[in-house]
A = this chain, B = another copy of it.
Amino acid sequence: MKKSIIKPSILAGFMELLPDEQEKFNDIVDKIIGVYKNNGCLSIDTPIIEKADVLLAKSGGETEKQVYSFQKGKNNLALRFDLTVPFARYVAQYYNDLIFPFRRYQIGKVYRGEKNQKGRYREFYQCDVDVIGKGKLSINNDAWVISLASKAFKKIGLTNYEFQVSNRKILKGILDELDIDNASDVMILIDKYDKIGEKLFKDELTNIIGNEKSEYLNNLVNIKGTNEKILEELLKLDIKNDYFIEGIKDLGQVKSMLEVLGVAREEFRINLKIIRGLDYYTGTVFETILIGNENYGSICSGGRYDNLAENYTENILPGVGICIGITRLFFVLKEIGFVEKYKIKSNLDYLIIPIGDTIDYCSKIMKCLQEKGYGVTVYFEEDSLKKKMSYANKLDIENVILVGEDEVLKNKVRIKNMKLGNEIEINYEEL
């Protein structure tokens, strides 16, 4: 009876890479995590599946509609849709065992049932850093987390990015001052500014708050100039609202501290149109665009929350964090040709090819080279030499070691460099 064959395929909206690209993806992840560790962040890992009522404690919000949830036995389960909510739960749960300020990094897959579109995946990796304080947390941390993203991008070799930073308190203060009731509608609208464009924005804003205030607000979020200039112009408004004053002060401090922490002036820009939706954030907010490729959206975002774990504990836990959506980022880096040019060290430096019964000696050579840190494997199949060499070629292995009985007898190692095309013969001891 012939077996029936099922067509091998994956779900739409899920990313899968060939080994070549996967190795590059891993290398990028390793570099980002290397920066996080180098800055003293500790690792945590949380389940992908959680109790639905815990994960969705903060109900409402755009994200929740996209959550993968299901039943198993009597339990209502949900797949995490970000790493921030599980982190909040984690910090509340292990509060007494953690040392604050707690700086943690985490990488993992998250799930959102988004509409399947270019660069939007339903399963994707996030790679987060958050620092969380007990009762209080210095504003300098807001700059610090952004500086980690800057270091990570530099490590990868990315150059054309720009952090766009704001502080929500500024807008909150202004809207308070303008006596606007439906402030959240206005915030949502500003959040959509870049998507809908100035014309539509002004029209819709006028509908909500009238012509005069709309004009004022539109001018305000579009103040041009250096970061210093923008802060100056804002101060000139001379608004006496506490939120506004605190927001300006905090944003100013973040600006200075970014420079202190090695983020160059060209790397960041104050942009009051940055809101980051309506969830969590209460102070600093930022996004990261690729200059010339703004249409791909933000490749790294984050901000400050006054009380991250409020759904899970009475303890006040202010925090600030960044999230790099690696799967999305990798998609964008592929699109702009960055991945193709991205060079990594091969896992396979040497392929050892036994000719005849020389496997003992091959194994000895492999051990020796691996101890020096090289990636080495032996070609075990009984194929023609041509096929074996072609294998090395296809896998882009730089060195092939041919081990015939002659080499074993003479204790020699014959190394063929596939790139240069030359061959050297050395004594085993010289290896």
Give residues in A with beta carbon < 8 Å to B.
3, 5-11, 14-19, 22-23, 25-26, 37-51, 53-54, 57, 68, 70-73, 75, 77, 89-90, 92-94, 97-99, 101, 103-104, 109, 111, 113, 123, 133, 136-138, 140-141, 144, 257, 260-262, 309-314, 347-348, 351, 359-360, 363, 367, 370, 373-378, 380-382, 391, 394-395
Contact = CB atoms under 8 A, between A and B. Distances in A.
A154 to B, nearest CB: 12
Contacts of A377: 39-40, 103
Contacts of A73: 113
A18 B94 contact: yes
A19 B39 contact: no
Contact of A373 (B38, B92, B101, B141): B38
Contacts of A92: 8
A10 B51 contact: yes
Contacts of A141: 380
Given A23-B42, A40-B377, A113-B72, A93 B8 contact: yes
A104 B16 CA distance: 14
B94 A57 contact: no
Given A7-B312, A17-B45, A49-B123, 4 more contacts: A9-B51, A19-B98, A260-B360, A262-B363
B381 A77 contact: no
A15 to B, nearest CB: 8
A5 B311 contact: yes
A85 to B, nearest CB: 11
Contacts of A104: 19
